[in-house]
């Protein structure tokens, strides 16, 4: 399946079930290492990033197998502490295994992680947090060699609320003696889900969802079952798709609160939205209006992962919307592709100004990264004629089957 073909112009109608969250399940898969036994993950999305995490677990000597929609992981047979370069390059989240392996074994070895090219994505805060807990980290021949025989809990203040550094610090702190207090922690819902998983296996973590998280390390763990939270960015993508194409769609398995900044922007642009109790209903008619100024920010601000997706929904709006990307330096790579479809977007540094055009045209485009690729799906649904999206492996990192879901809503879309 090397490309997705969309014939735009059809309205969307119906109900769609949102998958479990990629950004929640990836740190949870790393966290399974903290318990030398079995865990069952329900609602685990089938994604290439999840497969990459499974490969890492298997390389480490653990077992992981699918049973229907559940993933069963057993780390009692874990026998290695190193992650080879090819698995590290697959995705950035592989670095979260560092904190978990250190907590379990006291040493770990890996290279620097890969992932979407969104500008420089250093891991200095991850490493500094682990060092504060007592880990000795050395770089030798492009590899990170880490030993942490006696990690001790203490206060760690992050200079910015990095999602990944918060997760790595929590996992390492689970293996440290005594209490760790993480200050200026990221408040993303996925961190709360990680806390719920950790508590389910017997770790003591509290405060996730706020900016101070407390971890009491070295607790006795046990087998557990955990249901992965809904993917708020996939939810945002389907909302943007209906906003762009027009129609009425109900999303199931969503948390309305997690999407409040996205729904506020879509409401500002003229969509009718209601929700609660795991559902969101969105109705869009005619051309949208401006969404004003959309500034990405750490949660509970507007998610950087939804920036490209919302931008794509507004390409045919009547008015001008200003995007300010404050999290990543290079997150407008999708814009050149949207230009091919007739979009009017100008960029100056971290600001993108979208001026709505009456028509978009189908074109041959390329997914530049995961969410940029999702933006092309949204734009393709609103364009006249045929859009062919290449490099769809970027999209498959985070979406189980967007073709299945959008086709079920009435879109003319196929894998080729
Ligand atoms: C996670 C999400 C990603 C989302 C991002 C921001 C996962 C798997 N990925 O990525 O989808 O776009 O949060 O919501 O959950 N930084 C440093 N030094 C560090 C770590 C981060 O300077 O050691 C910077 C980054 O370059 C970036 C900012 O901090 O500019 C935020 O990054 P971070 O929150 O760490 O994002 P990720 O965890 O990589």
How, if at all, do strands 279-284 and 293-295 pair? unpaired
| pLDDT at residue 99, rounded to an integer | 97
Q: Does residue 164 have its Cβ closer than 6 Å to ligand 1?
A: yes
Q: Where do the structural domains in the chain lie, given as residue ranges?
A: 4-19+230-415, 22-227
Is 116 designated active site? Answer: yes
Number of H helices, E strands in the chain: 14, 23
Q: Does residue 96 have its Cβ closer than 6 Å to ligand 1?
A: no
Tens of pLDDT, residue by residue over 301-344, are 999 999 999 999 999 999 999 999 999 988 999 999 999 999 99
From the CA of 127, give the closest atom in ligand 1: 23
Which class is 22-227 in CATH?
alpha beta
- Collect the ranges in the chain with pLDDT lower than 50: none
| pLDDT at residue 1, rounded to an integer | 58
Cα of first residue to Cα of last residue in the chain, in angstroms, is: 5
From the CA of 303, give the closest atom in ligand 1: 14
Q: List residues bridging with 73 in a β-sheet.
A: 39, 64
Contact 16, 251 (CB under 8 A): yes
Phi first, then psi: give them for residue 404, nearest 5 degrees.
-55, -50
In order of 53, 64, 121, 174, 383, the CA distances from 61 in angstroms are: 13, 10, 29, 21, 48
| pLDDT at residue 277, rounded to an integer | 86
How, if at all, do strands 386-390 and 320-324 pair? unpaired
- Angle in degrees, CA 174, 180, 183, rounded to 5: 120
Ligand 1 centroid distance, CA of 118 (Å): 10
**Is pTM beyond 0.75 here?**
yes
Neighbours of 139 (CB within 10 A): 11
Q: Catalytic one among 116, 146, 174, 203?
A: 116
Tell which one of 162, 169, 189, 262 to mutate to probe ligand 1, the residue whose CB is within 8 A of the most ligand atoms: 162
- The hierarchical CATH code for the domain 4-19+230-415 is 3.65.10.10
* One fold for 4-19+230-415 and 22-227: yes
Rounded Cα distance, 59 and 57, in Å: 5
């Amino acid at each position: 399946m090397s490309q997705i073909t969309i014939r735009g112009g059809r309205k969307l109608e119906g109900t769609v079930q949102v998958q479990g969250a990629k950004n929640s399940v990836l740190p949870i898969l790393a966290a399974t290492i903290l318990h030398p036994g079995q865990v069952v993950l329900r609602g685990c999305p089938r994604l290439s990033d999840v497969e990459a995490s499974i490969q890492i677990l298997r390389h480490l000597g653990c077992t992981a197998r699918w049973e229907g929609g559940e993933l069963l992981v057993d780390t009692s047979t874990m026998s290695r502490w190193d992650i080879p370069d090819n698995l590290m390059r697959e995705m950035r989240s592989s670095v979260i295994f560092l904190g978990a392996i250190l907590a379990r074994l006291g040493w770990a070895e890996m290279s620097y992680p890969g992932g979407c090219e969104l500008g420089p994505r250093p891991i200095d805060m991850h490493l500094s947090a682990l060092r504060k807990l007592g880990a000795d980290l050395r770089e030798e021949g492009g590899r990170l060699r880490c030993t942490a025989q006696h990690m001790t809990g203490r206060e760690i203040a992050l200079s910015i609320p990095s999602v990944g550094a918060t997760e790595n610090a929590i996992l390492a702190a689970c293996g440290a003696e005594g209490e760790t207090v993480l200050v200026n922690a990221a408040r993303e819902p996925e961190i709360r889900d990680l806390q719920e998983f950790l508590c389910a296996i017997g770790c003591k973590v509290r405060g996730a969802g706020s900016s101070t998280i407390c971890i009491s390390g070295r607790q006795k763990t046990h087998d557990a079952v955990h249901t992965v939270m809904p993917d708020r960015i996939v939810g945002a993508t389907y909302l943007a798709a209906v906003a762009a194409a027009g129609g009425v769609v109900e999303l199931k398995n969503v948390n309305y609160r997690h999407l409040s900044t996205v729904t506020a922007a879509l409401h500002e642009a003229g969509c009718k939205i209601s929700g609660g109790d795991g559902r969101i209903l969105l109705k869009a008619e005619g051309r949208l209006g401006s969404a004003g100024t959309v500034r990405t920010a750490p949660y509970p601000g507007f998610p950087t992962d939804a920036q490209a997706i919302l931008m794509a929904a507004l390409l045919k709006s009547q008015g001008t919307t200003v995007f300010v990307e404050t999290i990543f330096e290079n997150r407008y790579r999708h814009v050149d592709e949207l230009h091919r479809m007739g979009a009017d977007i100008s960029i100056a540094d971290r600001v993108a100004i979208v001026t709505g055009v009456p028509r978009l045209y189908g074109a041959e485009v390329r997914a530049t990264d995961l969410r940029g690729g999702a933006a092309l799906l949204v734009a393709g649904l609103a364009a006249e004629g045929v859009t062919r999206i290449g490099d769809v492996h970027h999209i498959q990192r985070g979406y189980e089957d967007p073709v299945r879901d959008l086709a079920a809503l009435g879109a003319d879309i196929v894998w080729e």
